[in-house]
Amino acid sequence: MISVDYHVHSSFSPDASNEMRKMVEKAVSLGLREIMFTDHFEFFSDGRPGNFCSDENYVSFIAEEALSLRSEYSDRIYVGLGLEIGQMQFALKKSEEIIGSYPFDFILASYHKVGDVDLSRYDYLKTDIKSLVHEYLSGLLCIAQSANFDSLAHIDLIKRYAHRQNVEIKIEKEEALVRKILKTLVDRGKFLEVNTSSMRQCFEEFFPSDKILMWYKEEGGEVVTIGSDSHRTDDIAEDFDKAEKLVSALGLNVLKNYRRNRGMYET
Ligand SMILES: [Zn+2]
Ligand SMILES: [Zn+2]
């Protein structure tokens, strides 16, 4: 059984519902050994006024609460301090400062906003999909090549939002570029995330698809991180049984006990 969830949002994230303590209690009740909080930190505001998830006080509140719960629940579960940083390829220096200011266990890198427009806000029926996908994948490649992180999150996220508008996107059509991202992760010692949230959104595969996971393996990838991307207690560790079957069928291992500052991990 996969006993770690490496992508969880607490109510510190503006799009999440439950406070950290409730998330930890639910994880304990499910028998998890680790819960890794990866609340959002976003570069760029998507046109919103002020800073959206990019205030440093906000990170200090997250760190304080996670570390406090870690000690309180230390006999039952490890409460990990992580962060999901969006668009870090455009703010490498600032990312380093934030990452260096707190004792993070794990950094997830994401690309949510192409051209400072959140992927959820595009009109996919009126957008040139081929160029948008190319720009999106080029941004992911830039993150993979240049940023300081541990795992690349939901690399086919763009499918989710297009699907809501009945537009089906296959990033697999850009095989050479996708493979280049995967190879770069392997060469730089970074991991690829298997994000199970797709199953809750009417997809029949995880993010990424089985095909991309096979390419990751072919490019030399051995280890994945598994995350539910839950924004509420009910979704923690959702569909991990299916993820476990798939990952082991592909001969991949699941990351656990990862502590980036201590250079330790197990699979
Ligand atoms: Zn995300
Ligand atoms: Zn997330």
The SS3 of residue 73 is: coil
Ligand of minimum distance to the alpha carbon of 6: 2
Residue 197 Cα to ligand 1 middle (Å): 10
The pTM assigned to this predicted structure is 0.96
Query: How many domains does the chain fold into?
Result: 1
Report which bound ligand comes closest to the CA of 8: 2
Instruction: Give the chain's largest Cα–Cα span.
Output: 53
Terminal-residue alpha carbon distance, the chain: 12
Q: Give the distance (Å) from ligand 1 centre to CA of residue 153.
A: 7
Cα 81 to ligand 2 centroid, rounded to whole Å: 14
Q: Which amino acid is at 119?
A: L
Q: Which residue type occupies 61? A: F
pLDDT, tens digit only, all 267 positions of the chain: 899 999 999 999 989 999 999 999 999 999 999 999 999 999 987 877 555 677 778 899 999 999 999 999 999 999 999 999 999 999 999 999 999 999 999 999 999 999 989 999 999 999 999 999 999 999 999 999 999 999 999 999 999 999 999 999 999 999 999 999 999 999 999 999 999 999 888 888 999 999 999 999 999 999 999 999 999 999 999 999 999 999 999 999 999 999 998 877 888
Give the ligand with the smallest distance to the CA of 82.
Answer: 2
Q: Please give the distance, rounded to the nearest whole angstrom, from the Cα atom of residue 13 to the centre of ligand 1.
A: 11
Ligand of minimum distance to the alpha carbon of 38: 2
CATH number for the domain that contains residue 151: 3.20.20.140
Burial 233-259 (b: 16+ CB within 10 A, else e): bebbbbbbeebeebbeeeebebbbebe
Q: Which residues are in the CB-under-5-Å shell of ion ligand 2?
A: 84, 229
Structural domain containing residue 19? 4-266
DSSP, collapsed to helix, strand or coil, labels residue 233 as helix
Phi, psi of 16 (to 5 degrees): -115, 160
Question: How many whole angstroms from 10 Cα to the centroid of ligand 1?
Answer: 13
Q: Quick one: tokens of 34?
A: 């680790």
